[in-house]
Chain A
Amino acid sequence: ETGVTQTPRHLVMGMTNKKSLKCEQHLGHNAMYWYKQSAKKPLELMFVYNFKEQTENNSVPSRFSPECPNSSHLFLHLHTLQPEDSALYLCASSQVGGRETQYFGPGTRLLVL
C-alpha cells in the first residue's frame, strides 16, 4: 500500500450505532488530519495531530472522538451520530503540521440513518 488509505470506503449506520473510521499513511509523515466534506460546503477541518498529539479541535461535537496511536494511524470513533453528520470524511497527512503539502486519502462515505 502506498499513500494514504482509508477504511471502510462506505459506511451506513444508525443513530445508536458505534463505529470507527481508520486512516493509515505510508508516507513517513508526522501530521495527520480529519476533514468533513458535505455537499455544497467547503472542506471542514475537524482535527489535527502532530507527532501523535492533538493540536487542533475545530469545535467538533463530542460524538466524534479521534485517536492517534502513532504517526501512521488515525482513527475517528463515531457514536450517537445525527443524520446531518452524513458526509465524506477525508483523512490527510503532511510532513509538518499545517505548512506542508497535504496528501489526502480517498475518504469514507458515511450515511447516518
Chain B
Amino acid sequence: TQLLEQSPQFLSIQEGENLTVYCNSSSVFSSLQWYRQEPGEGPVLLVTVVTGGEVKKLKRLTFQFGDARKDSSLHITAAQPGDTGLYLCAGEKTSYDKVIFGPGTSLSVIP
C-alpha cells in the first residue's frame, strides 16, 4: 500500500482543455509538494502547500491542500503542450520525517 496515491495514472488531453489531478492519502501531512518531471530530466519543484485549505496559483496552475491535510489537487487551465510531463506529489508527515513521493500522473497534452 502506497502512502500517497495519485490519480489518474495517465492522462492524455487536447491543447486548451482543463484538467485536475489528485494526490490522496489516509495520513495527515505537515506539507505537500508538487513537482513536474519532463522526459530525461529530474523533478522540478512547482509549489509547496502547508496550511489546510490553502490555495496557491502559479500562472495556469492552481494547487489546493485539503482542509484535513490528507489530500491535494492540481488544476491546469487551458493546457499547453509544454505542460506535458510527470506530475509528482510528495509530502512529509512531520517536519522530522523524510519526504515520501507518490507514483505520479503522466500528462500528455496533444497540440
Q: Interface residues, chain A, CB within 8 Å of chain B?
A: 4, 40-43, 45, 48, 56, 90-92, 98-99, 101-107
Contact = CB atoms under 8 A, between A and B. Distances in A.
Nearest to A105: B42
A102 B44 CA distance: 9
B95 A99 contact: yes
Contact of A104 (B42, B96, B100, B103): B42
A106 B40 contact: yes
A37 B3 CA distance: 17
Contacts of B41: 106-107
Given A4-B42, A98-B99, A102-B45, 16 more contacts: A41-B103, A42-B104, A43-B43, A45-B98, A45-B99, A90-B42, A98-B96, A98-B97, A99-B92, A99-B95, A101-B48, A102-B99, A104-B42, A104-B44, A107-B40, A107-B41
Q: Which of A42, A103, A105 counts the most chain B CB atoms within 10 A? A: A42
Contact of B98 (A40, A41, A56, A106): A56
B102 interface: yes
Nearest to A56: B98
